Amino acid sequence: MDGNDSRLNQQQLSKPSINEVVAVASVILFLVFSGALTIRCIIRLQNNRILVRTTNHVALALEHTESALKDAETGQRGFLIAGREEYLEPFYAGTKRIDVEVQRLGALIAGDSQQQQHLSQLEVLIAEKLDELQFGIEIRRTDGIDAAQAAVNTDIGKNTMDKIRAVIEDMRVVERSHVATREVTAEESYRTALITTALTTILALGLVSTVLYTILRSRHRAQQNAAVIYASRERLRVTLSSIGDAVITTDEQGVVTSINAVAQSLTQWSGDQSIGVPLSEVFNIVSESTRLPPESPALRAIREGVIVGLANHTVLIGKDGFERSIDDSAAPIRSERGKVVGCVLVFRDVTERRRLERENLERDQQARVLGAIVTSSDDAIISKSLDGIIQSWNAAAERIFGYTEEQAIGNHISMLIPAERLNEEEQIIARLRAGERVEHFETVRLRGDGKDVFVSLTISPIKDASGRVIGASKIARDISEQKQTQDELREHEKRFRTLVEQVEDYAIFMTDAKGRATTWNEGVLRVLGFEESEFIQQDIAPSIFLAEDVEKGVPEAELDEAATKGRASNDRWMKRRDGTLFWATGVTTGLHDTEGKLLGFMKVMRDQTKRKETEDELRKAAAELSDADRRKDEFLATLAHELRNPLAPIRTGLEVMKLLRDDPVQMEQIRSTMERQAQQMVRLIDDLLEMSRITQGKLELRKCHVVLADVIQSAVEAVQPFIDEAGHELSVKLPEQLLLLDADPNRLAQVFSNLLNNSAKYTPDGGRILLSAERQGNDVIVSVKDNGIGIPPDKLDLVFEMFAQIQGPIEKGYTGLGIGLTLVKSLVEMHGGQVKVYSDESSPGSECKVRLPLLVDGPVAKPLDPSSEETNSTIRCRVLVVDDNKAAADMLSLVVKMLGHEVRTAGDGQEGVEMAESFAPDMVLMDIGMPRMDGYEAARYIRKQSWGQRMMLVALTGWGQEDDKRRTLIAGFDHHLVKPAEPTDLRRLLNEIQERTP
């Protein structure tokens, strides 16, 4: 360094005119500096005005963003109400405007960190709002207006919009603050420019005056300064050599004048290489985060005359490319008069220290993040030792389990575990000791109030530095509501599983402007069956559209619509790679660049074949339900008609009987007519009850070995009066051999009587009916054939349906309940048989054939006929009839008296109880629905009394279902009879009383 200093001193002494150049240059530089300062003030003023204008643009962009959101929301609301896609145009237009305005906002506030934070919040909220609007649209499309209205009626959308408005208002407040500040700054810049221009002009004149004096004086001191500088540099060289830090000195231009050994080692620049080289080349530094060169500390120290430190996290790049983190500072070197003649740069290698700092910072950040997560988490976060002692407890744990932090910490975890689940904790501890993590373990835990809470547990082992498990961290999520929801939805899961799978199964791909595929996803393989290599660059139209659609130009029309209108739907039948067809739903969207040029298309589609089939089935079911509803209405009207028909002759007969008091022949004729009509009403009601029992699965057959001829005889006897009344000719042809059946004789007689009654009803007066039986193998075919109105061929499949009516001429009065053949079919099938109906338009009438299995071997056991039972005892019974219907009570009393017994009547339950105590009857025939005290309450009261223990209580009611019988039995009744009570039933019960009377 001695040779270099000598050469520099000689150069300075050999050019004494340099001071003159410097003085003149100083004047010029000052003038330039003054002009530059003035220009800078003007530019600053202009920039402030631009910033004010930018603030106005930001306010306008915020207003446009808020307006676009309102338009999008308006479009969505219109679609939810109307359900028409064109109502979504404001939604789509608003969405596009939102994207443009948000990008514009980002550009306008690029340099404002505060506003950028606000913008980040705004973008998240806008995305949430658009997702909420889109969700409502999808709900409207798939589930209808009610589901969409329910989704919109929540406060989610309103809350999100309120947050958006709040953020926008915060941004407006910031911009208004900026406007005020920038206007003040602009005014100050204007005044500064005026003052600066005036001052620089005055100073420039003074500077020119002093230049000549300075030049002359500098000549005199040049030699003295050269000697001083040489001595100073020599002292500096010795000092720098003894310093342990890296040191570089420069002149006032920032050119290296010295570099010590440590600096040479760090920069990999030798002394000879670095002297005279600009500091920026030797001292090559960049920011650790941005990799951009920071401002040179040396030049700043020279310019400002102050000690300058580098920004934190600065990296020195050596000549060999090796990087080191450094810590440095630069100080100006001043002459005796205080003039800055250079600078000294001191720096050191802090790479290792920076590494440790980063590690500590990362640990601190992780600790802070973890603490924030634990504190703010909605899940309970608990840590415990391996022996189960609770060591930490967050606010969510207090909310979920009901224990405060003070109550929980230090106690055993078993306080939260039901006794029957303690083995779970032992199993979890064993897994944790093995280093295993327990994830999403659903179980039940106890709250502080003793109630159960369903939780999902994730438990991780806590290890020390050596890797040894020393505890556990437990995250518990309250899933009680989720479990309840799952239980409620479990029964619907199977029904909706297919729909969920379809919603998740989308084929999404893009094409170029000509319709050739440019992208592929897994959905294309699942929905269309194409591998990626088979799909890319292929013309989509012939690959997935039906041939007839391609011929009609459907693919081209769809692309044209998407290109011009932005989107086009494609709900139609399409084909997969293997040629199979499926119902595709989706949309094709045109893709354009910023100039509106068509780039291509995006197609989103999914397989909705099952939904299509379901919709078709639902439409069919709706039609069937509509038909069933119509038939139900017809049935109710017919039921009213059929019940009135027998009531009319009964009422008329009663009136005639009042007039004919002494004519026994006519009285018997009227009685027979009324009996037949009453039997018809009973038959109608019995048919209804039988169908109710069959449809509810409550009808039981009481089978025994019966002779077919006996069953048919019972059926013929039941309908003979109606056949005679209509003047029909009934022929019965049965085989000579004995045909045995394992059947319920009453139900089977009901089958044949229904068929005979049907033929009698739908055959004009004076018709012919043939009942025949024929053995075929191990079966018997029983046929009922008539020459009536017949059945149209297209109605043959409907006659066995509930409430089915084959319409005949109204004037003929062919009516019925429409359940007769339905009842027949059910009873026959319960006997293991089949029934079919035949009718031919070429010949009148219809034929019904019943096939039943025969009992090939076995003895005949005929059921007893209750009507044959006679009262052999002469013991009279006391009978109490309790009914609020006085006419019914009187008639029943008359029957009991005719059977030879003593009878009393009561008009309600309260009176019945009082009379039962005083009269002490052997049997109480009691109605159920009565005022003051009903039959149930009266029976329970009687059974509690000592005098009522041995009475036979018989419920006599119009309700005959199994549940009705169960209720009467519970109330204390011995028997249950359905109105009207048959005399045979009364005789049987009275005989039972007489038999047990000593």
Which has the higher per-residue pLDDT, 566 or 362?
A: 566
Q: Quote the percentage of the chain above a pLDDT of 90.
A: 13
Residues in Cβ contact with 815 at an 8 Å cutoff, skipping those fewer than 6 apart: 638, 641, 642, 645, 761
State the Cα–Cα distance between residues 671 and 546, nearest whole angstrom: 77
Residue 365's pLDDT is 66
Residue 295's pLDDT is 80
Beta bridge partners of 255: 278
Least confident of 66-80, 145-159, 369-383, 544-558: 369-383
CA atoms within 13 A on the CB side of 637: 9
pLDDT surpassing 50 at residue 879 = yes
pLDDT 10s digits, 317-339: 988 888 888 887 888 888 877 88
Least confident of 91-105, 679-693, 845-859: 679-693
State the Cα–Cα distance between residues 174 and 597, nearest whole angstrom: 39
pLDDT surpassing 50 at residue 498 = no
Least confident of 160-174, 467-481, 807-821, 891-905: 807-821
Mean pLDDT over 427-447 rounds to: 85
Other Cβ atoms within 10 Å of 253 Cβ, number: 10
Q: Which of 132-141, 476-485, 694-703 has the highest mean pLDDT?
A: 132-141
Which has the higher per-residue pLDDT, 711 or 220?
A: 711
pLDDT band for 315, please (50, 70, 90 cuts): confident
State the Cα–Cα distance between residues 976 and 842, nearest whole angstrom: 51
Q: Give every strand in the sheet of 952-957, ordered side by side.
A: 902-906, 878-882, 923-926, 952-957, 975-978
> Do 942 and 916 form a contact (C-beta atoms < 8 A)?
yes
pLDDT band for 697, please (50, 70, 90 cuts): low
Beta strand 452-463 with 438-446 is antiparallel
Other Cβ atoms within 10 Å of 381 Cβ, number: 20
Nearest to 397 by CA among 387, 411, 483: 411
Other Cβ atoms within 10 Å of 450 Cβ, number: 7
3-state class (DSSP) for residue 769: strand
pLDDT band for 488, please (50, 70, 90 cuts): low
Residue 798's pLDDT is 57
pLDDT band for 502, please (50, 70, 90 cuts): very low
- The number of angstroms, rounded, from the C-alpha of 432 to the middle of its chain's C-alpha atoms is 36
Beta bridge partners of 512: 600
Strand locations in 766-818 (E): 768-776, 779-786
pLDDT band for 688, please (50, 70, 90 cuts): low
pLDDT surpassing 60 at residue 426 = yes
Angle between helices 745-761 and 708-726 (to 10 degrees): 30
> Do 161 and 73 form a contact (C-beta atoms < 8 A)?
yes
Q: Label each residue of 242-257 as H, E or C.
A: HCCCEEEEEECCCEEE
pLDDT 10s digits, 196-251: 777 777 776 777 677 666 666 666 665 566 555 565 666 656 666 666 788 888 98
Other Cβ atoms within 10 Å of 922 Cβ, number: 20
Mean pLDDT over 623-642 rounds to: 60
pLDDT surpassing 50 at residue 729 = yes
pLDDT surpassing 60 at residue 525 = yes
pLDDT 10s digits, 781-827: 999 999 888 777 666 665 666 545 554 433 334 444 445 577 788 88
> Do 61 and 101 form a contact (C-beta atoms < 8 A)?
yes
Q: Label each residue of 356-392 as H, E or C.
A: HHHHHHHHHHHHHHHHHHHHHCCCEEEEEECCCEEEE
State the Cα–Cα distance between residues 84 and 77, nearest whole angstrom: 11
State the Cα–Cα distance between residues 28 and 43, nearest whole angstrom: 22
Least confident of 352-361, 468-477, 572-581: 352-361
Token readout for 129 is 């709002």
State the Cα–Cα distance between residues 230 and 53, nearest whole angstrom: 57
- The number of angstroms, rounded, from the C-alpha of 943 to the middle of its chain's C-alpha atoms is 57
State the Cα–Cα distance between residues 260 and 297, nearest whole angstrom: 18
State the Cα–Cα distance between residues 387 and 66, nearest whole angstrom: 58
pLDDT 10s digits, 526-554: 888 898 888 999 898 898 999 899 998 89
Token readout for 712 is 């048919």
Which run of H or of E encompasses 216? Answer: helix 156-242
pLDDT surpassing 70 at residue 256 = yes
Beta strand 581-592 with 567-569 is antiparallel
- The number of angstroms, rounded, from the C-alpha of 75 to the middle of its chain's C-alpha atoms is 23
pLDDT surpassing 90 at residue 903 = yes
pLDDT band for 674, please (50, 70, 90 cuts): confident
